[in-house]
Chain A
Amino acid sequence: NAGVTQTPKFQVLKTGQSMTLQCAQDMNHEYMSWYRQDPGMGLRLIHYSVGAGITDQGEVPNGYNVSRSTTEDFPLRLLSAAPSQTSVYFCASSYSASSSYEQYFGPGTRLTVT
């Protein structure tokens, strides 16, 4: 298994540009989520999905959209990039949303917005 994969690894955007961060998992996990991590801070939840076709907002959803058309993929879209969205983005997945299962994290996408 490749686990959780994220592309790209690095990205530089200009203010106002849009882009999609890709996340995929090959473990047939129902639950997937996106976090952002700002320097010196813990991770904060952006959006999550408990299964294909079902998404919901996390702690810091503004400026981001998600969709879950397949079990494997959970892309994160930045609609109009702002410097405040400069961060490291991590995607995670687990067998289900239940608290009895561990989450697996991807390697992250490092985004800079100028």
Chain B
Amino acid sequence: DAKTTQPPSMDCAEGRAANLPCNHSTISGNEYVYWYRQIHSQGPQYIIHGLKNNETNEMASLIITEDRKSSTLILPHATLRDTAVYYCIVRVSGNTGKLIFGQGTTLQVKP
């Protein structure tokens, strides 16, 4: 299974873009990159996922490098409610559906 590396913590000013990096240098060609977040004491929440191309939805944008060895989650206008632990996950291929959660990045959005 491809492993991911994320910084343990980051700060961001409210209203500014939050750029959360993730390294997944051993990713396989058929593995997706997923981002989830966990707001304190709640269940993880799906944000976005992608395979090769950049993706955007109402919550965030996902930028995947051409060699797929790293990616960046972008929250375009961070709010205080975006304070959470953000997990970058490389989804195991096959039919197990398994998500391997690492330590994630604790994003603190400050006023």
**Do B101 and A48 touch (CB < 8 A)?**
no
- CA A98 to CA B30, docked complex, whole Å: 11
CA distance A4 to B42 in the complex (A): 13
With A90-B44, A105-B43, A105-B45 already in contact, the answer to whether A45 and B32 are too (CB < 8 A) is no
For window 32-50 of B, CB contacts with A under 8 Å fall at 32, 34, 41-46, 49
**Cβ < 8 Å to B, chain A residues 3-25:** 4
Number of B residues with CB within 8 Å of any CB on chain A: 25
22 A-B Cβ contacts within 8 A?
A4-B43, A31-B97, A33-B97, A35-B101, A42-B100, A42-B101, A43-B99, A43-B101, A44-B101, A45-B98, A50-B97, A88-B41, A92-B43, A92-B44, A98-B97, A99-B31, A100-B32, A102-B34, A103-B99, A104-B46, A106-B43, A107-B43
Total contacting residues, chain A, CB less than 8 A: 30
